[in-house]
Chain A
Amino acid sequence: MQVITKNWEKIDPLNINSYISQRGYEALQKVIRGWTPEQIVAEIKKSGLRGRGGAGFPTGGKWELAAKTKADQKYFICNLDESEPGVYKDRTIAEKNPHQIIEGLLIGAFAIGAKKAYIYINGHYQKQAGILEIALGQAREKEFIGRGIAGSAVDIEVEIFEGAGAYICGEETALLNTIEGKRGEPRLKPPYPPVSGLFGKPTVVDNAETLANIAYIIRRGAKIFSKIGSSISPGTKLFVLEGAVKNKGIFEAPLGISAEELIFNSLYGGGLESGKKFWFAQIGGASGRLMPKSKLDQPLIYPRTNSKSSADSRDKSKIGVGVDGNCEYPLSCGSILVVDKSVDIKEMLFSWASFFHRESCGKCVPCREGTFRLWEIAKRLKSGDLRERDRENVEDILWTLSNTSFCPLGNFAGIAWSDAIKMFEKEVFL
């Protein structure tokens, strides 16, 4: 089942006509000419589409909130910051089919009544920013962007905003701050961005992959989309397979698929590289949990949430609490790192700790100090001179990180560590 990757092979990313010939921009024209914004929001809600950036917040709900909030100016932002180690799905969409993102962005902007939209792209994605810039120019020429799009009275301007490579800027309020010329530190929520976002105006921030689904939903109807994949979180997902798996790369599969199938089915990962033995898989980038072999059969879904609490502070990463018993291993952004038995767990611990230590924004003490001390301990672990008190300190640090940090970056910085210590205590402290 392909929704996002369907026409990738047939499309020349630098030529808008090749996208149009695959029914591109049909959905945009359809809604601009004949739909009210309320109808679009209702359709997206009905589709059950959930945010693909990691939190899995219902997209339609977010749009509805922004659409209902009255303001003289609204913004719609595509989040293409993506700097989680092991994830490059959004980059690939931008490379293969940039108009797919742009069309979804325009439909979303129209639905909430935003006249200005941004594509917030990771500063390291220079090449992809260039492709998107060309795509925007071509869409402007065809009058899909700018004043009076598709022959209507609707004006939507789209601009690319290049970040400067900070992981925290994938968190939506930190992202908004950097556009406003402030440090990329997360804001206290509520108010949520759909109520008060960029420059205090209602703003929707959606992940690029989420937006890549929109045109399909409008064209084919919410009903068809909602039948794909799992009933709790319908649709397909781009999974990134990395590590010791034979076929590495991006694979589209319906939600609800198990990690086992993704790793071992020849359609996807095709098993492990020869001579390697499966140890565990990390689901969802550096902030993801470690999945042992015995849990590989669990369905990968975005669990049903109490909609209020999920917007809460969990957009960047995953939902861990108050959800279906089914979701011990949150899917997050959809990356699966397969780790085999030849890997030294201490190297992985160091990799995770140094990532979060580097990317902590420094706003709150638990995360700033916690990630720093964890990184120091990781270095000592690696070089083999662990101090006596380190072991109990690790527990304290991990507890503090996950319970007292201001935003999800800190909350999830210790997830992989906690799992590693629980599962492989001997190997870690050997």
Chain B
Amino acid sequence: MSLQKILLRFEPKPENLLRALEEIQKENKYISRENCLKVAKYFSLPLARVYSFASFFDEIKLKKSGKKIIKVCSGGPCAMKNSTEIVRQIELLLKIEAENDAYPKYKLEYISCRGLCDRGPIVMVDENVFEKVRPENIDDIILNYL
């Protein structure tokens, strides 16, 4: 879908800005500078306003990234269910370091609460959510989803 088509689904009111950005991201994986400009124009906002808003949210990406992103919850309940051991396993398997952007293929991030504490520990690979992950299942997840 073209950008214009996505934008036209929303009235250019401030309360629609977040939804519009999310929809554009769904289509393009990230929001380029060029697209930010178009959004700014459509909503009659300065480009800086769109950037300041978009960059606030972790979930909105302003840069293209070809990396697989693996996320592990480090919230209290997940931490108590061994999520640190899971991080260690992933670091060993993929030979990467958590929270470090320097590796070309993967990025391992800690995340906070997804509101799924009852089903923790939570691991995510891109948008796939894995619940009740045990350190010994990590191999499986890595093999099948990376």
Name A's B-contacting residues (CB within 8 A): 82-88, 91, 122-125, 161-167, 178-185, 240, 242-244, 248-249, 282, 285-286, 337, 339, 343, 347-348, 350-352, 354-355, 358-359, 361
Contacts and interface: CB of A to CB of B under 8 A. Distances in A.
A347 B18 contact: no
Contacts of A91: 115
Interface stretch (B30-38, B49-57, B137-145): B49-57
Interface in B1-56: 14-19, 22, 43, 45, 49, 52-53, 56
A184 B52 CA distance: 10
A165 B15 contact: no
Given A86-B77, A165-B57, A354 B115 contact: no
A82, A122, A347: residue with the most chain B Cβ atoms closer than 10 Å: A347
A242 B113 contact: no
A83 B57 CA distance: 14
Interface string B51-86: 011001111100000000000011111111000100
Contacts of B76: 85-86, 242-243, 282, 285-286, 337, 348, 351-352
Contact of A286 (B53, B75, B110): B75
Given A162-B19, A166-B56, A347-B84, A180 B75 contact: no
Contacts of A286: 75-76
A71 to B, nearest CB: 18
Nearest to A379: B99
Contact of B79 (A88, A244, A351, A361): A351
Nearest to A164: B57
Nearest to A340: B80
A82, A161, A183: residue with the most chain B Cβ atoms closer than 10 Å: A183
A348 B84 CA distance: 10
7 contacts: A83-B113, A164-B22, A166-B56, A179-B14, A182-B53, A350-B84, A358-B110
B114 interface: yes
A167 to B, nearest CB: 7
B117 interface: yes
B58 A88 contact: no
Given A166-B58, A183-B53, A358-B112, A350 B74 contact: yes
B113 A161 contact: no
B116 interface: yes
A133 B67 CA distance: 34
B80 A122 contact: no
A83, A124, A248: residue with the most chain B Cβ atoms closer than 10 Å: A124
B57 A85 contact: no
B136 interface: no
A348 B79 contact: yes
Contacts of A161: 15, 18
A354 B22 CA distance: 26
Contact of B52 (A183, A244, A359): A183
A122 B113 CA distance: 11
Given A343-B80, A348-B79, 19 more contacts: A83-B112, A86-B117, A88-B115, A88-B116, A88-B117, A124-B115, A164-B58, A165-B58, A166-B56, A166-B57, A180-B14, A184-B56, A242-B77, A243-B77, A286-B75, A348-B80, A351-B75, A351-B79, A358-B58
A114 B52 CA distance: 30
Contacts of B84: 347, 350
Contact of B118 (A88, A182, A348): A88
Contacts of A243: 76-77, 80
A162 B21 CA distance: 12
Contacts of A125: 115
B15 A354 contact: no
Given A347-B79, A350-B74, A355-B74, A122 B115 contact: yes
B52, B111, B115: residue with the most chain A Cβ atoms closer than 10 Å: B115
A85 B117 contact: yes
Contacts of B77: 85-86, 242-243, 337
Contacts of A337: 76-77, 80
Contact of B18 (A164, A339, A354, A355): A164
A82 B16 CA distance: 21
A367 B86 CA distance: 29
Interface string B75-119: 111111000100000000000000000000000001111111110
